[in-house]
Amino acid sequence: SFPTRRSSDLSLMRNHKEMRYLVTPAAVLWSVGVVVADQTRGAAKPRQAIGLDAAPGPRMAARTKPLLVVMVVGETARAANWGLSGYSRQTTPELAQLPVINFAQVTSCGTNTEVSVPCMFAPVGRRDYDEGAIRGSQSLLHVAARAGVAVHWRDNQSGCKGVCEGLPQDEVSALKAAAALCGDGRCLDEGLLIGLPDRLAALAATAPGRPGTQLLVLHMLGNHGPSYFKRYPPAFERFTPACRKDDLRLCSREEITNAYDNALLYTDHVLAQLITQLQAASAQVDTAMLYASDHGESLGENNLYLHGLPYAIAPDVQKRVPMVMWASPGLAQGPGALDTACLKKRAALPAAHDHLFHTVLGLLDVRTQIYEPAFDLSQGCRAP
C-alpha cells in the first residue's frame, strides 16, 4: 500500500509514472482506464468560454498609472518548511526583510501539478471539484484577457496545463539570456525574471491617459523532486550535508531535508529579487505579487516521500502550501486602496487555492458575474 512504500520506490514512480500501474495485476485495469481518460482529455476540443461578460471595473478605467500583477506559481513548496510560517529553520530570510503578507494556513487543490495548476486558475476549485469542468473550460487568464488585460505566461517547468492556451507565453529554456542558468535540461528560476525591468519600463511608457494593465504568470521549477539539489546554485547550499543523489534511497532523511530546505532558500531569493525589481519601478508603475505553491511534499514522515497521493488520504504536508502577497505603495492610495493591516489580519485565517481566481480578478479590477467577492482575499480590505 502507499504508506509502506520506500523512498526509492516513490522516487522511481515520480520519474517513471507508468511504474505505479505495474505493481499489481489489478492495477492493469486502472492503468487502462487512466490511459483512456488521458487520451479523451487530450483530444482537441474547444474549451468552454467563461466570463464572457468580463470588463474593466471603475478602478481599472480610472487608473492614472499602469498596473502589473505578477502571479508566481510555486512548485512542491510545503508550508511545514516555510520560514515565514514558523519553521524552526529560517528558509525565507530575504522575504522576512520585506513588507510581505504571509498566509500561513493555505490548502492546495491537489497533490500534484496536473491537478493543482488547472484548479488554481479555475473559478471553483477543491470546494466543488469537477476535473472535467476545470480541464474543459477557459481559465482566469482568458477572463482577464477578455477584459483588456495583457496576459503573459512564462514557464520554467512542465507547461501551463492548458490554462494559457492561445495566449502569449514563453519558456525560460528558450531565452538566449538564460543560457548561463540552464543545464541538464533544466534552468534555474532566476531565468523567470529575465527582461522584467524592460517590461516595467515599457509599461511605464504607456501613452498618458491610457495606462496599461498586465498580468504576468511565472511558473517556477521550485522544489521539484527528487533531485532537490539541482534546483539551486552552489551559493544556496547552506544546510549540510545535503543529498546530492537522484535516488533518495541513497540519502538519509536529514540529507534529503537539507537539500529540500536549500531549494526553498533559493525560491525565497528569487521572490525577493522579483519584489526588489517591482519596488524599483513603483514611482512609474503600480505592482503586486501573489505567490502560491501548487502542492506540498512528503519528506519521510510515515515513510512517505515526494507527493501525488490521492487527495482523500494524502497527509497534510502534501496539501498545505505557502502563499505570499506583496503590493507596491501606489496600491495603498486612491480609490480601492488596499489596507495592508487588514490583509495581514486576513492572512491569519485559513485560505485555499480556491481564493486565487477571485483575488487576482479583484487586484486587476476585472468585473464579471463569475467573480465571487467572498473568495477574494482582498475583499473588505479596500477603501470605497
Asked if pLDDT for residue 179 goes beyond 90, the answer is yes
Cβ contact 154:178 at 8 Å:
no
Which of 84-93, 165-174, 325-334, 358-367 is least confident? 325-334
**What is the DSSP secondary-structure string of 252-269?**
-HHHHHHHHHHHHHHHHH
Q: CA-CA distance, 280 to 53, in Å (whole number)?
A: 35
Asked if pLDDT for residue 10 goes beyond 70, the answer is no
Cα distance between the two ends of the chain:
55
Region 227-244 average pLDDT: 98
User: What is the per-residue pLDDT across 326-381, written as a single tens digit (0 to 9) for each?
Assistant: 999 999 987 789 999 999 999 999 999 999 999 999 999 999 999 999 999 999 99
Bridge partners (DSSP) of residue 366 are 56
pLDDT-derived band at 383, boundaries 50, 70, 90: confident
Q: How many CB atoms lie within 10 A of CB 114?
A: 18
**Residue where the block lists cell 497533490:** 111
User: What is the per-residue pLDDT across 109-156, written as a single tens digit (0 to 9) for each?
Assistant: 999 999 999 999 999 999 999 999 999 999 999 999 999 999 999 999
| Average pLDDT of every residue of the chain | 89
Region 186-199 average pLDDT: 97
Predicted model pTM: 0.90
The confidence score (pLDDT) of residue 53 equals 98
Percentage of the chain beyond pLDDT 70 is 88
Asked if pLDDT for residue 40 goes beyond 90, the answer is no
Which of 131-135, 200-204, 206-210 is least confident? 206-210
Per DSSP, the three-state class of 375 is: helix
Asked if pLDDT for residue 41 goes beyond 60, the answer is no
Which of 118-127, 186-195, 291-300, 326-335 is least confident? 326-335
The confidence score (pLDDT) of residue 44 equals 58
**What is the DSSP secondary-structure string of 21-50?**
GGSSTHHHHHHHHHHHHHHHHHS--PPBP-
pLDDT-derived band at 185, boundaries 50, 70, 90: confident
Cα dihedral: 50, 343, 297, 186 (round 10): 70
